[in-house]
Amino acid sequence: MCDHEDPKDKILDAAQTIRQNTRKETEKGFRVVIAGKGGVGKTTITALLSHLFARDGLTVLAVDEDPQMNLPYAMGVPRERSDAVVPLTKNLDYVEEKTGARPGAGWGLMLKLNPDVSDVVERFGIRGPDGVNILVMGTVVQAATGCLCPENALLESIVRFINLREGEVILMDTQAGVEHFGRSIAQGFDQAVLVTDPTFNAVQVVKHAAVLARELGIPTVHLVVNRVRSERDVEKVEEILGDTADLFTDRFFLPYEERLIECEPDVEPMLAGVPPSPFVEELGAVRSALLRYGTK
Ligand SMILES: Nc1ncnc2c1ncn2[C@@H]1O[C@H](COP(=O)(O)OP(=O)(O)OP(=O)(O)O)[C@@H](O)[C@H]1O
Ligand SMILES: [Mg+2]
Model pLDDT, residue 196:
98
State how far the Cα of 194 lies from the Cα of 179, in Å rounded to an integer: 14
Give the position, in ligand 1's atom list, of the atom nearest the Cα of 261: 31
Give the position, in ligand 1's atom list, of the atom nearest the Cα of 279: 1
Give the position, in ligand 1's atom list, of the atom nearest the Cα of 45: 18
**DSSP one-letter string for 145-205:** TT---HHHHHHHHHHHH----TTEEEEEE--SSSTTTTSGGGTT-SEEEEEE-SSHHHHHH
Model pLDDT, residue 197:
98
34-69 pLDDT per residue, tens = 999 999 999 999 999 999 999 999 999 999 988 889
Q: Whose CA is nearest to atom 26 of ligand 1?
A: 39
Among residues 149, 211, 174, 147, the alpha carbon closest in space to that of 36 is found at 174
Q: Return the sign of the alpha-carbon dihedral for residues 242, 248, 249, 252.
A: negative
Model pLDDT, residue 150:
53
> What distance in angstroms lies between residue 283's CA and the mean position of ligand 1's atoms?
14
Ligand 1 touching residue 263 (CB < 6 A): no
The residue ranges of the chain whose pLDDT is under 50 are: 1-7, 11, 103-113, 143-148
Q: Whose CA is nearest to atom 25 of ligand 1?
A: 38
**Residue pair 35/178 in contact by the 8 Å Cβ criterion:** yes
Domains of the chain: 8-293 (3.40.50.300)
> What distance in angstroms lies between residue 39's CA and the mean position of ligand 1's atoms?
5
Model pLDDT, residue 293:
94
Ligand 1 touching residue 38 (CB < 6 A): yes
Q: Whose CA is nearest to atom 8 of ligand 1?
A: 41
3-33 pLDDT per residue, tens = 444 445 554 555 555 555 555 555 678 999 9
Contacts of 162 (CB under 8 A, 6+ apart): 22, 61, 115, 116, 117, 120, 170
Ligand 1 touching residue 31 (CB < 6 A): no
Residue 217 Cα distances to 39, 191, 211, 239, 246, angstroms:
26, 10, 10, 27, 16
Model pLDDT, residue 114:
53
Model pLDDT, residue 43:
96
